[in-house]
Structure 1
Amino acid sequence: MAELTGGTADFPPGAGTALYHPQFTELGAEECRRLLGTHGIGRVGISTPEGPLILPVNYTVLDSAIAFRTAPNAPPAAAAGNRIAFEVDRMDDALSQGWSVLLVGAAEVVTDTVQVSLLNKKAHSLPWAGGDRSLWISVVPTRVTGRRIAARDLPPAPGTRPELQ
């Protein structure tokens, strides 16, 4: 009940208990692409000389690519010209279920002014970080994978014996 009423809002995510009979499912590429289109915040993973870096970014889906915007001197700009990972997920702590989509591909700066204008119009929101985030980076995935965890079936009704069902 505390989860549903917001009583645990300040607790770290992932503290829920495991589902009764959880089912782990690999998602197909089409389902992954559909789920990517339902969100506007994802994480970009890049390699740097100091080690891996994973950063949240606002993004949008355009055709078969995802695109995110950043400032030219911000850390996510280092993705340009490199092979990167991009991840989006949805977790429900109250129900201990969710999904995750990961794509891998080469990141390129979007330089075509028509494409930049289209991306600006299509963006779900203004960048949460504020400031000038006018550099769009596009990633056409070479690999898309996803997984979902959900309840396989419902727990037995109170007062019933599971072994008899």
Structure 2
Amino acid sequence: MDRDDQLEELGADTCLRLLSTVPVGRVVYTEHALPAVLPVSFEVAPDGRLLLAVRRGSATARGLDGTVVAFQADQLDPVTRTGWSVLVHGRADVLRDPELVRRALRSGLRPWVGDPDPMFVSLVPELISGRRLAPSGRPVPHS
């Protein structure tokens, strides 16, 4: 990053709004006592939870249930060196409520790697942070 770049810290509401504009992010969790990072399809629920779509029976599904995880998504332009990045920390739990699972299915949310019988994980944000980067001399666009 150049010294002349402009960095803006983002509030939680802006972070959630930006997250809702991209379909894939990365979830960070523990697998076999080591950090693991995996791209996942997701959506922001109306109540602010993140719903992640994973393959049923996968190591990821097992590693996410009842644990504290990190989730990161971004939209970056390597040519202009602009964009944003959001980081969320919180507890992840497999969705077991049949109505919530039906809603996730109706929304079209599916795992990044196809699965006819997906599993959904709810991530309740406890810490949300984000940054937006714009070159110096250009105003930072507000969402």
1:146 aligned partner: 130
- Report if aligned partners of 1:44, 1:87 keep a CA contact under 8 Å in 2: yes
Q: Among 49, 71, 74, which residue is 1:89 paired with?
A: 74
State the TM-score, normalized to the length of structure 2.
0.87
Alignment partner of 1:113 is 2:113? no
Which consecutive aligned stretches of 4+ in structure 1 deviate over 6 angstroms post-superposition?
none
Most deviating of 65-74 and 126-135: 126-135
**What is the percent sequence identity of the aligned residues?**
33
State the distance in 1 between where 2:39 and 2:112 align: 10
Distance 2:118 2:82 in 1: 35
In the TM superposition, residue 50 of structure 1 has moved relative to its aligned partner by: 4.3
Query: How much has 1:20 moved relative to structure 2?
Result: 8.0
1:44 aligned to which of 27, 32, 36: 27
SS in 1 for 2:133: strand
C-alpha contact (below 8 Å) 2:110/2:118 kept by paired residues: no
Equivalences for 1:25-40 in 2 at 5 Å? 25-40=8-23
Name the aligned partner's letter for residue 141 of structure 1. Answer: P
Work out the CA distance in 1 between the residues paired with 2:115 and 2:67: 25
Q: Which has the higher strand share?
A: 2
Following superposition, the deviation at residue 64 of structure 1 comes to 1.2
Deviation, 1:133, is 4.7
Q: Aligned to 2:106, what secondary structure does the other structure show?
A: helix
Partner of 2:4: 21
- Code of the residue aligned with 2:77 in structure 1: it is D
Could you tell which deviates more after superposition, 101-110 or 128-137?
Answer: 128-137
Instruction: Return the offset for 1:71.
Output: 1.7
Contact 2:53 2:110 in 1 (8 A): no
TM-score (structure 1 length as normaliser):
0.76
Q: Which runs of 5+ in 2 are unaligned?
A: 139-143
Cα RMSD after superposing both structures:
1.7
1:75 partnered with 2:59: yes
Give the equivalent residue in structure 2 for 1:6: none
